[in-house]
Amino acid sequence: MLIKNANAYINGKFRIRDILINGEQIVKIAYCINAKNEEIIDANGLIALPGLIEIHAHLREPGQEQKEDFLSGSRAALAGGYCLVYDMPNNMPKPTITKEALEKKKMLAKNALCEIRFHFGATKNNFVEVRNAKPESMKIYLGKTTGNLVIKSNVALKHMKNFPKGKQIIVHAQDGETVEDAQTGVQTAIKLAKKATRKIHITHTSTAKEIELAKKWKLATVDTAPHYLFLNKEEAIKMKPKEKMFVNPPLRNKKEVACMWKELEKIDAIGTDHAPHLLNDKIKGAHGFPGLETALALFLDAHSKKKISLDWIATRFSENPAKIMKLNKYGKIANGYFANITLVDLRKVWIVKGKNLYSKAKWTPFEGRVLKGKVVKTIYKGKVVFTESV
């Protein structure tokens, strides 16, 4: 396959290049490559981002396939520009906390349309399971949320000490509703990581102070979710039904959101926290938003309003997630890397509508937003797996 004339993020800069793909890999990047028998993709006028990497999603299979499954979730991912998705362990009724559960998930995810990897849940007594299952990464819940995986800090410390230092631990640090609660949670997580002298990744920070606190530990990285930058409490309260606005951690007020925007440079990654629930479940109090199909576009739109650079987007959606998860051959458009490429049209204006989502949630907290910028093609390991239909 040959991608012609893409404005591609290569080596820290956008440049117009041709990209030659052989099998699953990028084999040549040059100003002009001549095609012989290649399938040609004309990317003239399009931006090429390294295929997006989602480090925080809930794909719900097995157990709650009515909300999402690997097929629908991966379709949503590709439509949002993602080639690789990390799935969270808080499945109900059976969380991913045993070797058996992890292997079952790996099997089930074989029908996914993009790559799926798995965070393994830490519990108060699954130390042997962790050793046997040899997961790529771990998720620690210090705060209450969907599922039942909260552990005490002394147990979390033991996991942090036991889990291989080279592997990543994602921490849900925030417990409770207030900003102070969230900040205390982050402080605790950092204290534990320091004691264990290990790297951790604090997910869904929603206040500037949490980021500041996390950054006091040199081996800590942070992400935030799009809703902590593009929604605020004052506006969300008007949602109908009002229960739609429930999410963990909760949405913050306008002032906090403005402070988050000032910390953009310190945010290492965007994790959507794609947490699909059917509207019926939302009305009964389920917390969480679908996010895979709107995340990138919200930031592209912010770029069109000159609030954010394309370099920032490329690093936070692809390059840094690859670093955080210590992935080889992912997160860059470069020779020898996997041919995961997201083609974006910055001119395309569209309206977000829940009913058009591939996610089974079929609603979105961003309903009705007019966004400028959209994924038009997603290339996963050398194959076009998503093409925009309108």
* Binding-site ranges for Zn ion (CB under 5 A): 273
Whether a cis peptide bond, with omega within 30° of 0, leads into 93 is yes
**Of the two residues 317 and 380, which places its CB atom closer to Zn ion in the complex?**
317
**Of the two residues 273 and 301, which places its CB atom closer to Zn ion in the complex?**
273
Phi and psi dihedrals of 18, rounded to 5? -100, 145
Partner touching 247 among Zn ion, ligand NCD, none, CB below 5 to 8 Å by kind: ligand NCD
Nearest to 82 by CA among 116, 52, 55, 58: 52
**Of the two residues 69 and 273, which places its CB atom closer to Zn ion in the complex?**
273
Q: How many CB atoms lie within 10 A of CB 357?
A: 22
Q: Binders of ligand NCD among 236-255, rule CB under 6 A?
A: 247-248
The binder of ligand NCD chosen from 145, 184, 205, 378 (CB under 6 A)? 145
Confirm or reject binding of residue 318 to ligand NCD (CB under 6 A).
Answer: no
Confirm or reject binding of residue 172 to ligand NCD (CB under 6 A).
Answer: yes
Partner touching 54 among ligand NCD, Zn ion, none, CB below 5 to 8 Å by kind: none
Nearest distance in Å: CB 37, Zn ion: 45
Of the listed 87, 268, 273, 281, which one is catalytic? Answer: 273
Nearest distance in Å: CB 8, ligand NCD: 33
Is-contact 83 114, C-beta < 8 A?
yes
Distance of alpha carbon 175 from alpha carbon 157, whole angstroms: 17
Distance of alpha carbon 354 from alpha carbon 362, whole angstroms: 5
Partner touching 287 among ligand NCD, Zn ion, none, CB below 5 to 8 Å by kind: ligand NCD
Q: How many CB atoms lie within 10 A of CB 254?
A: 11
Confirm or reject binding of residue 58 to ligand NCD (CB under 6 A).
Answer: yes
Q: Binders of ligand NCD among 78-117, rule CB under 6 A?
A: 90
Confirm or reject binding of residue 206 to ligand NCD (CB under 6 A).
Answer: no
**Of the two residues 10 and 189, which places its CB atom closer to ligand NCD in the complex?**
189
Nearest to 227 by CA among 186, 287, 183, 312: 287
**235 token code pair:** 């506006």
Q: Binders of ligand NCD among 263-302, rule CB under 6 A?
A: 273, 275, 287-288
Helices (H), the chain: 70-79, 99-108, 127-133, 153-162, 179-195, 208-214, 227-230, 233-236, 254-262, 279-283, 295-304, 310-314, 320-324
C-alpha distances in Å from residue 129, one per residue of 87, 109, 164, 198, 229: 18, 21, 14, 21, 37
Q: State the chain's maximal CA–CA distance in angstroms.
A: 62
Partner touching 248 among ligand NCD, Zn ion, none, CB below 5 to 8 Å by kind: ligand NCD
The verdict on whether 69 is a catalytic residue reads no
Residues that bind ligand NCD (CB under 6 A): 58, 90, 145-146, 172, 247-248, 273, 275, 287-288
Catalytic residue set: 273
